[in-house]
Amino acid sequence: MSAPFRKKDRDIERAYSEYADMLYRLALTYMRCREDAEDAVHDAFIAYIEKAPAFDDGEHEKAWLCRVTVNKCRDLLRRRAVRTHASLDEIEEPAVTDEIPADISSVIESLPDGLRVCVTLHYLEGFSVEEVAEIVGITVPAVKMRLLRARERLRTILGREE
């Protein structure tokens, strides 16, 4: 085995161990189905392996993987829209993460897709507004507006005034 091949394997293993959990949470936010989220992350890493892109730094690599994961989720959702029924296996409870309380998690899960994804990426995963815009494929003002609308809805749902 040549040295570059081993380095590539190490890069793939490192990227997987570093980003897989975060990409899974992102995909689960989109897909709302564990199996479909796993498929999206799997497809994103297949693209990472096949394309073997060069990155300037870890943040560029992370943003690329997020963008590819979002695109894979959108592809799966388009394919899912063709189906006329859902199997019982696809119906499950919203995801609850260790980082946020279950009641907040269920409220976030109740947000419309566009708002939920922006909230998850910005507030739960720590991406900047600019990074969220790039990942989701919308403008920075659109991300800010979605975050504002999400905060307003969350305040209303939770009955909190600020």
Cβ(108)–Cβ(115) below 8 Å: no
Backbone angles phi and psi of 99, in degrees to 5 = -75, -25
Distance CA 85, CA 72 (A): 21
What was the pLDDT predicted at 105?
73
Tokens representing 150?
């999400």
Distance CA 26, CA 71 (A): 11
Single-letter amino acid, residue 123: Y
What was the pLDDT predicted at 81?
64
Closest CA to 11 of 43, 69, 51: 51
Distance CA 107, CA 90 (A): 20
- In three-state secondary structure terms, 153 is helix
What was the pLDDT predicted at 93?
46
All domains in the chain, ordered by first residue = 1-92 (1.10.1740), 95-162 (1.10.10.10)
What was the pLDDT predicted at 6?
47
- The per-residue pLDDT string of the chain (162 residues; one tens digit each, 9 = 90 and over) reads 444 444 477 888 999 999 999 999 999 988 888 999 999 999 999 999 988 888 888 888 999 999 999 999 988 888 876 554 455 455 454 444 445 455 677 788 888 888 888 988 888 888 899 988 988 889 999 999 999 998 888 888 877 544
Distance of CA 62 to the CA centre of its chain: 11
What was the pLDDT predicted at 142?
93
